[in-house]
Chain A
Amino acid sequence: MAPVLKVEGLSTFFDTRRGVIRAVDDVSLQVEVGDTLGIVGESGCGKTVLSLSIMKLVPTPPGKYVGGKILLGNHDLLRLPEKEMRKIRGKSISMIFQEPMTSLNPVFRIGDQIREALGLHQGGTRREVWERAVEMLRTVGITKPEQRMRDYPHQLSGGMRQRVMIAMALSCRPRLMIADEPTTALDVTIQAQILELMKQLQRELGTAVILITHDLGVISQTARQVAMMYAGQFVEYAEAGVIFSRPLHPYTVGLLESIPCIGGKFGPGKRLPMISGGAPDLAAMRSSGCRFHERCVDVMPVCRNLEPPWRKNDHPHQYVRCWKYH
């Protein structure tokens, strides 16, 4: 199957007074039709810069795309002029953000906001666009969509706002949807509903999804492949089943162990295994050595001096960036 999106060796750096920040460094990924790729990482690891890079929304300067390719079909988005890029955003690639209140405009009715994208990309008479917008709201499970079209964002609950965001994102039937922490601000019961809705729409429309989150539980419920991101790099990349049952990178292993869960063996009176230290400061980082070595339990002398290259394992397919496996 031809991939919807193929990213090869993408690097996005920022020039700052404290030096060059390598926010996204040599990232490659691939998503197929109807596929879900989960990207997991902690705050500041470059998840959001990666998604903004794919949309080409990183402000330049201070950001710059240093290298790599972003292939959507036959187009390399990095070479596309801004005018062409505007036709792709919202139409071929759309995005859902974490905080539905700040990403909806508070002074416009939600109906007008959905119609804006539809009208721009697909055209049609006012009547047609209105009806398509109502239909979209109904698809995402909003009751009485005709009335809701006239509501302002503050009149909706958090879950409903996120449904509206999904309606907007899917209204032009994009080939790829990037969801950046779509359920982080929501309660668990609402989260379950939104994730189920995204899955169902994805099946119906065949949209490929890149799901960015820090919640490994959410990833395991939805993603087919998973990429673990640490300090601007992918450190492990494999199918979800493989990564959860047989994680290779010490960061993935540590992270999976450190999460308290309902059925887990760690109750009162126990201690959780934990990764020591905190995420590194990308600006202060030296260029040599593995980015995880200061927190790693299996650190070897080579880890301090040389950055480990990507290594591919066959059977099952699993990429890992760690000297242990060389």
Chain B
Amino acid sequence: MMDAPLLSVQRIDKSFAPKRKLFSSAPDACHAVREVSFEIHAGETLGLVGESGCGKTTLARMVACIERPSSGKIYYRGIDIFVAKKAELHEYRQKVQYIFQDPYASLNPRMSAGDIVGEPFRIHKSRIDGVSLGDLDGLLKMVGLSSEQKNRYPHEFSGGQRQRLGIARAIALNPEIVIADEPVSALDVSVQAQILNLLKDLQDRFNLSYLFISHDMGVIRFMSDRVAVMYGGGIVEIGPNEGIFGNPRHPYTRILMNAVPSFSGQTVKREREIVVSLGEVETIETGCLFCSRCPEALPVCWETAPELAVVSGGHLSACHRSKREV
């Protein structure tokens, strides 16, 4: 199908070296993201799913150019963003926007709604003509707020409305890629549906690409064209929505799905027992990161780390077993 990808992430790696404390030997570095590669095309949603601490947010922060990777490259329209010129970076920061998880913490309580949404225009004023009040009103209306609410402050809004403000701020500069880091996990169920639908409407209207991060498999299923499953800093499986949910190949993906309590269908009891008997997370020096908890681990899993390998068109899994079954 494909034209050139909008964003291409190539083997990025990130370790955080902890501070050495007085009188103690240097502790091990925390390896947050391990050699992750993926691409995002225009108008596409890539869902990123994984448990807390698996490196989802660190990855997103590197894509947003907030954090520099230890190694690896990110190309945006062929430009390496970590060696880009100032002007190129300026444009990148305008074209890639971020929606944060916590709508309470991510809005400045001392700025009015109008100021919050108008701030991107002020920052990037050298490139964009000054914003007229009409634009601001249109922007607020687009996310389901009214223009009278412009002079209110964040505490006067509900959680859902605050997230709408965050979305308005993110789309203000007409971006191409929006990174949504758990945008609905702090919201109530009935509001969650409203925000998810809004994100889809905006995507259709402006041909946005989303890097959509969530720990909720149901939300990922609803939002994503393609899905990447992360564990321990690496992508263990990546593929099209139907492939991941219809025919998950990595044991971790299957466990994640069976762990989700559902009310529509009954989970198979045996599958649930596997989830319940999962061990603790261990740090693995060599071999597959998941092998200590994996119900299907083979001897080889403890020795060599499996690479992502194609299991069917566009569907990759990093598991010795799924390679065998091909």
A interface residues (Cβ-Cβ under 8 A, vs B):
42-43, 157, 187-189, 191-193, 195-196, 214-221, 244, 254-256, 258-264, 266-268, 270-276, 278-279, 295
Contact = CB atoms under 8 A, between A and B. Distances in A.
B8 to A, nearest CB: 22
B202 interface: no
Contacts of A187: 51-52, 215
B263 A256 contact: yes
Contact of A262 (B192, B194, B245): B245
Q: Which of B225, B262, B265 gathers most chain A CB within 10 Å?
A: B262
B295 interface: no
B36 interface: no
A192 B273 CA distance: 9
Interface string B73-98: 00000000000000000000000000
A42 B194 CA distance: 15
A260 B52 contact: no
B250 to A, nearest CB: 14
Interface of B: 45, 51-52, 158-161, 188-194, 196-197, 200, 215-219, 221-225, 241-242, 245, 255-265, 272, 275-276, 278, 280
A264 B190 contact: no
A268 B222 contact: yes
Nearest to A273: B193
Contact of B218 (A192, A262, A278): A262
A196 B242 CA distance: 30
A68 to B, nearest CB: 27
Given A43-B188, A268-B45, 12 more contacts: A43-B159, A188-B217, A192-B261, A192-B275, A195-B261, A258-B189, A260-B193, A264-B218, A266-B222, A267-B222, A278-B158, A278-B191
Contact of A254 (B190, B222, B259, B280): B190
A196 B276 contact: yes
Nearest to B225: A268
A262 B221 contact: yes
Given A217-B261, A272-B222, A188 B215 contact: yes
A212 B258 CA distance: 22
A126 B261 CA distance: 42
B193 A217 contact: no
A260 B241 contact: no
B218 A268 contact: no
A195 B190 CA distance: 24
A298 to B, nearest CB: 16
Contacts of A259: 189, 192-193, 218
Contacts of A263: 262, 264-265
A189 B193 CA distance: 24
Contacts of B241: 267-268
Nearest to B240: A268
Given A189-B278, A193-B276, A268-B45, A262 B261 contact: no
Contacts of B221: 260-262, 264, 267
B103 to A, nearest CB: 13
5 contacts: A42-B189, A220-B261, A270-B222, A272-B196, A278-B190
Contacts of B158: 278-279
A239 B25 CA distance: 59
B262 A217 contact: yes
A272 to B, nearest CB: 4
A261 B262 contact: yes
Contact of A260 (B51, B196, B215, B278): B196
Given A42-B190, A258-B189, A275-B190, A244 B275 contact: no
A264 B216 CA distance: 14
Nearest to B263: A220
Contacts of A264: 218, 221-222, 264
Contact of A278 (B161, B193, B275): B161
A272 B218 contact: no
Nearest to B197: A271
B259 A189 contact: yes
A252 B192 CA distance: 15
A278 B158 CA distance: 8
Given A42-B188, A221-B261, A258-B190, A188 B256 contact: yes
A110 B215 CA distance: 30
Contacts of A276: 194
A189 B231 CA distance: 13
Q: Which of A195, A263, A275 gathers most chain B CB within 10 Å?
A: A263
B194 A268 contact: no
A276 B195 CA distance: 11
Contact of A192 (B200, B217, B272): B272
A276 B193 CA distance: 9
A213 B194 CA distance: 20
Given A221-B261, A262-B221, A263-B262, A272 B197 contact: yes
Nearest to B204: A269
Nearest to A196: B276
A268 B52 CA distance: 25
Contact of A188 (B45, B196, B259, B265): B259
B143 to A, nearest CB: 14
Nearest to B281: A157
Contacts of B189: 42, 214, 216, 255, 258-259
A262 B217 contact: yes
A203 to B, nearest CB: 14
A220 B264 CA distance: 9
Q: Which 7 A-B pairs have the closest CB atoms?
A: A217-B261, A260-B222, A220-B263, A258-B193, A274-B193, A42-B188, A187-B51
